[in-house]
Amino acid sequence: MFRFPTRFAARATWRHACPMVMAAMLLTWACDNPTVVRPDFAYDPTALTGGLLYRWSTGAKVRVFVEPMAAGSADLAVAVQRAVQSWNAVPQGREFTLDVASNRDVADVIVYDRSVAQPVATGSCPFNPSGAAGYTYFCPLNGRAERLRPIAATVLTAAIVIRVDMTTTATQSALDALVAHEIGHAVGIGGHSPQASDVMFTRPTVSTPTERDRNTLRNLLGRAADITL
């Protein structure tokens, strides 16, 4: 489900799972680089944001930090590592690179489980992950994502916060699918696939982006952003 804000210019949140809340262009890298031909998207990557496209600035190194937690049957850090690897394989150039960070205070994306304290101070938008298996949050502010302050840090660094509820995922593969889906939102897919076999289906069961997921991301990476993360 997507919780559409009353005034989108200032706020956008979306959430995933139960209940789920949340023209091709050619991209020229630079004058002396070849034009990249983009595939059509398989589903609308702006359906959850009222038609607004968001993504990282081209060439961004996106640091992803996983909040430590007690060991359990499934490992959140492993799921994030796998998601980072599989989404990094999708861009046709170097539009973004996800890296797992070891320091929360320099992270662009912070991932945590419901069982640990919220690691980031709330931004200007409502932050309400309750009831969601996965919840990806950023807050648009003047065409950018508002920077959020990790708890105990003095600087504003994080643009995106992802909260998962691991009590909703019984196995590592179920957690992998959930995390892959949320990271898909974090790299610019602001929509859900209607096809159950896709990672970006509302209740994903696979963790490797399908051709449809890949084409959708490749398409949006070639378009101008309305909101730069």
Q: For residue 55, state whether it binds Zn ion (rule: CB under 5 A).
A: no
How far apart are CB 181 and Zn ion at their closest, in Å?
6
How far apart are CB 142 and Zn ion at their closest, in Å?
25
> What single letter denotes the amino acid at residue 174?
A
Distance (Å, whole) CA 204 – CA 198: 7
Per CB under 5 A, the segment of 16-24, 110-118, 125-133, 206-214 that binds Zn ion is 16-24
Strand order of the sheet with strand 54-55? 54-55, 227-228, 144-145, 140-141
How far apart are CB 28 and Zn ion at their closest, in Å?
31
Distance (Å, whole) CA 81 – CA 227: 26
For Zn ion, the closer of residues 150 and 204 by Cβ is 204
How far apart are CB 179 and Zn ion at their closest, in Å?
11
How many residues bind Zn ion, per CB under 5 A?
A: 2
The tokens 């069982």 sit on which residue? Answer: 115
Q: Which residue's CB comes closest to Zn ion?
A: 16
How far apart are CB 187 and Zn ion at their closest, in Å?
12
Closest CA to 198 of 189, 190, 209: 209
Q: For residue 16, state whether it binds Zn ion (rule: CB under 5 A).
A: yes
Per CB under 5 A, the segment of 12-20, 94-102, 113-121, 142-150 that binds Zn ion is 12-20
How far apart are CB 113 and Zn ion at their closest, in Å?
17
For Zn ion, the closer of residues 16 and 82 by Cβ is 16
How far apart are CB 104 and Zn ion at their closest, in Å?
24
For Zn ion, the closer of residues 74 and 164 by Cβ is 164
Please give, one letter per residue, the 3-state secondary structure of 172-215.
HHHHHHHHHHHHHHHCCCCCCECCCCCCCECCCCCCCCCHHHHH
**Binding to Zn ion in span 21-40, by CB under 5 A:** 22
For 30-45, letters b (16+ CB in 10 Å) and e give eeeeeebebbebbbbb
CB 26 within 8 A of CB 38: yes
Q: For residue 163, state whether it binds Zn ion (rule: CB under 5 A).
A: no
For Zn ion, the closer of residues 16 and 163 by Cβ is 16
For Zn ion, the closer of residues 80 and 153 by Cβ is 80
> What single letter denotes the amino acid at residue 86?
S
Contacts of 74 (CB under 8 A, 6+ apart): 166, 169, 171, 172, 174, 175
Contact residues for Zn ion (CB under 5 A)?
16, 22
